[in-house]
Amino acid sequence: MATLANKIKLYLEANSKTWENEQNNIKLRNDGSGDYIHTWSVSGLDKPTDSQVASYETQATKDENNYTIRVTRKRAYGEIGEQLDLLYKDMLADKGDKTGEWFKKVKAVKDANAKEE
């Protein structure tokens, strides 16, 4: 289940607004039974209804899952210096293609951590 904040971000974007510009005009709260919009003062845009917020559930969940996958991939790739060293060694060995160690490592990470389409 996606967070309310991410669904609100998508609602804003769909209405030509951004979270970065509007976050000070929106206050989310949780009273123990779930997050809700406590304050909404976005100029020129009405507070979304529950059904409008719910309509962003699928995309927000996908975005959150893909963010987690990107973080996992970043850790698995290793430091950029290590990647460049692998590329350098592949180039020296004339393996600047799919047979190189760098390519094989990146492919293995991507295969193990596929993004949602």
Q: Any idea where the domains of the chain sit in the sequence?
A: 1-69, 78-117
- Which residues, 6+ apart, have CB-to-CB distance to 113 below 8 Å? 69, 72, 73, 76
- Which residues, 6+ apart, have CB-to-CB distance to 33 below 8 Å? none
State in words which class domain 1-69 has.
alpha beta
| Mean pLDDT within 33-40 | 96
Question: pLDDT tens digits, residue range 74-117?
Answer: 999 999 999 999 999 999 999 999 999 999 999 999 999 999 98
The pTM of this model reads 0.80
Number of Cβ atoms within 10 Å of the Cβ of 111: 8
| φ/ψ bin of 35: left (φ > 0), alpha (ψ from -120 to 50), beta (otherwise) | beta
pLDDT for the residue numbered 117: 84
Question: pLDDT tens digits, residue range 41-81?
Answer: 999 999 999 999 999 999 999 999 999 999 999 999 999 99
